[in-house]
Chains A and B, each alone.
Chain A
């Protein structure tokens, strides 16, 4: 983009919570610098913008698209494909777009089970849903046919749907990292395409706690123990994912006695974040006795998927729990 011609910026959300949008605004007054550099042509959370206007753009006309959220519905898939087509640079923005994040944990269930939870057992339809109504793709009304997006069995990541140029990790990405990424775009100092924007080392690198060689005899959940503020949380038996999680957050959680839960995802080259964590912990459990090892694991880690795949299930090698019934989507 030339100096006096502003670039075009699109920000989009799919299956996400909105935290990414909020943290984007967290760059405070620097948002004015962004507005000065870009025409913000779409940002559902903050500005107006119509899909039909995007459809009218020529391919690659958008200079930068920050896409947060995973792909759960047909509409989200359409928007991902559309924005990919129209954007020069597509950034998978935040954990949901990169690896599925919390919405991706629903890959432990299928659509039927998710709908049962939400419309039958859950509180969304409080007090009750006596007719067991479910969202339909097509609904005939006197005025004509209404359409809702198709809800897929499986949440996919953005990169499982379209080609992605960059990845900005975090749940949500920290404002300072968002600003760094935007600066890199504006100054043309982006790393090679396909890169994760952030350091390639793990949270331990930024964690001020003292570390020694690890041997773990018992795992504690956070409410079971008052941690020593100066010693590595994992060494105290608290399931801290910092060892496997990409740095860049400044070890925010461990600094306030809370274990890293892994929102920045893995380092470069890791095929499966959860498997890395499991393999690492299996190596330092301090027992040679299979029964004792079983006990240490089953008592201390009651929810392995939630502990090790909290953010990464959809993007992992596993992707999801096996589907027994297939649906026509």
Chain B
């Protein structure tokens, strides 16, 4: 039963893929086999079908032999389906009358058994020929795209992407969950390997974000839900109550001075709890926006309902303090989304043998970043817990990284930031510094040179994994800051106990704790390491499986600042390429509902992951909204009445494909 009146004319093209395919499969025999299949008028083999001459072969045959259907047996359709569809289209054939048989990934690459491979390739080709015979010409439709981009996460990745888009005159909504943008980069003192002051290069960008009219900045806000699809996402954003009106506040900070808490009393999250803040505070002096936030968990008025509200008094006529404020939810329509949600650092307290949280002078690298920072809790003065200056400092690499108990991956930046901290600590304290490393990984522009520089500064490098950090035996009853770092020095081949008075744990970078929830919300996947999965590791590193959602920064995988900025620019460019043309072409392989056959049983309505099914209460039938439908087939499979058809995946096409694949199977005996 064919879907068309006149006898079809199918051309079959077998690709050698250099020798990728032809070294395993006898391509000549395969072409001969294809010639014997129904409706096949010609079959050719060629070294590279995807090359221009290869494509010309198809175009020429369509013209000369009046082919009305084409099968290309080559690589995965993921790679070249678009190529061959386009070639057919250029020759005047509807692109959906092309079918690929994947004889590379699914046959040639998975075996060296030539005769078995030929047989399987024959089944693939026969399946494709049978299927394409049932194909119908389809038309792509285009819909308008909303020329606005939402960026989720206001670290350096989000900032860079936002500024790039704004520079191109595109509207941006930048959503950051903390009270200020800046992210981790704003916490650092210097950046490797150039030792640029992080604040000096970041704060101008932060201010630019605030001043850029094209960017709507929403701090202390979180994305609550994402509906719709590429071109028209509907995103709901919850703006948490800040209790200070951002429009009215001028950033004079008099409210903070006036707070009834005379002295800061509560740990400042931004400073890793190493400094204290008041209930009304700005996380750090250069915060953007420079608007205080009131912590509802510690503010007297908000917890006990009783306070003389000296902050309100200090604000005076500006009336910016709004203790009655509540969360608000706003909905935005955007064409594309860039996810730049960053990372968190590994919590080493789960490794009791390193003493973090028990031994007072064991710090994480991020804590040291704050302590050496001129704008940090100590004004950049690095001291031990008792105020004395450290004399011997151990830096333990790979804490939580390259460790199958925690993260198997290398966090990539730790070697370099450990060198940077070694340099900074030495500069500030002249302490003797020991780096305990497994391997030094300093590949990057100027990285090896920086490593040499730090070595020349007299920093010690001990190759070996640290087994344990313990307080050293007390010195004749005298209290001591000394600790013993027990390390298997693999170069000396012996266990060493190095005495230090400060330990810095170079902790891993890991995915945010809510990565799974965020992944679901934006229709993405995660790779095995827990970071968001890009569409293709090499060829689509900032795209995701969800067409209008792009990735930037460490949320996609560990990387340093230059790589993050580069990726953010790429994501911005990708988003721009998408929204700038004003419309998107919809693939026609959506679901279709036959309203006659639909009984309105409401099986399908809850299932659509894209909310593309609406219910017509009057007619009592369901309907597919083609702009939203991605053709995933969930409803097609679920419809008990066969009222829903997957266009380009009809029963006739699928059964024809199965029949072709089983061309050499004996008929079932019943």
Contact = CB atoms under 8 A, between A and B. Distances in A.
A214 interface: yes
Interface residues of A, number: 35
A280 B638 contact: yes
Interface residues of B, number: 25
B514 interface: no
B667 interface: no
A64 interface: no
Q: Which of B606, B607, B640 has the most CB of A within 10 A?
A: B640
B605 A213 contact: yes
B601 interface: yes
Interface stretch (B479-487, B505-513, B570-578, B591-599): B591-599
A282 B603 CA distance: 10
Nearest to A152: B670
A283 B641 contact: no
A170 interface: no
B384 to A, nearest CB: 50
A202 B606 contact: no
Tell me the dominant secondary structure on chain B's binding face: loop
B220 interface: no
Interface string B578-608: 0000000000000000001111111111110
A201 interface: yes
A202 B598 CA distance: 7
Nearest to A247: B599
A54 to B, nearest CB: 28
B298 interface: no
Contacts of B598: 201
Given A276-B640, A279-B638, A319 B670 contact: yes
A268 B597 contact: yes
A294 interface: no
Contact of A267 (B607, B637, B642): B642
Given A268-B597, A271-B655, A283-B638, A213 B643 contact: no
A266 B634 CA distance: 20
A270 interface: yes
A280 B603 contact: yes
A272 to B, nearest CB: 10
A276 B669 CA distance: 24
Contact of A266 (B604, B638, B642, B651): B642
B258 interface: no
B599 A279 contact: no
Contacts of A266: 641-642
A213 B602 contact: yes
B202 interface: no
Contacts of A270: 641-642
Nearest to B652: A269
A196 interface: no
A243 B599 contact: yes
Interface of B: 596-607, 620, 634, 637-643, 651, 655, 669-670
Sorted nearest first, the 7 A-B pairs with minimum C-beta distance are A244-B640, A283-B638, A205-B599, A204-B599, A280-B640, A204-B601, A243-B640
12 contacts: A156-B670, A200-B596, A204-B601, A205-B599, A205-B620, A211-B600, A243-B640, A247-B599, A269-B642, A271-B655, A279-B640, A282-B638
